[in-house]
Amino acid sequence: MPVVAALLLMGCGPSADTSRVYQPGAGDDSAPSGPVVTMNETDVFELVQEQVAPEGEGTVVNWIDRQLTSPSGQALFPRWQLQRRAANRFEVSFTYTWVERSNEIENRGFVWQVDGSLRTVEGPKEIATSSGTHAVSFSDQQQRRAQDPAYNLY
C-alpha cells in the first residue's frame, strides 16, 4: 500500500521539465526553421546581370549585348527566366531565337546557377539546342498538313 501511495503522489504534481512551455522566438537562439537568407526574383536577376562577363570586359548584360549583335543574323524574343531549384538555389536562363541571313532559325541561350545563401553565381553554360530549322512559307505548311495529319499537333 505505501508503494501505491508514493506512485499517486509522484503522478499528481507537475514535473520540473513539463513546467516550461516552448514558445518559438521567445529568447530561443536555435537555428531558424526556414532559409537563413531569402532572395526575391529581382535580387537574383540583378546578382546574375551584375557579374563580371566571361570575357572579363564589363558585366553579363554587356556580354549578352555583344553576343546578340552580329551582321550575320538577328536575335528575336530575348527573355530572362528564373526557376527556383531549392530553398535558396535558383537557375537563371537567358534565351532567344537567332535568325540567320539564310533564314535558318535556331533557339539559343545561357544558364546560370545561383546560390542565394552564399550569393554565388556559376556559369554561364550554353543551353543545348536542337538542330536549326528553315523558315517555311504558309503554303508549304498547308501542304505538309494535308500530307501529314500529325504535323503541328503538339
- pLDDT tens digits along 92-142: 999 999 999 888 888 999 999 999 888 999 989 998 766 555 556 777 777
DSSP 61-75: HHHHHHHH--TTEEE
* Structural domain count of the chain: 1
Domain that holds residue 99: 37-135
Structural domain includes residue 117? yes
Average pLDDT of every residue of the chain = 77
Structural domain includes residue 86? yes
The Cα–Cα gap between 91 and 115 comes to 9
Rounded to two decimals, what is the model's pTM?
0.60
Structural domain includes residue 149? no
Structural domain includes residue 140? no
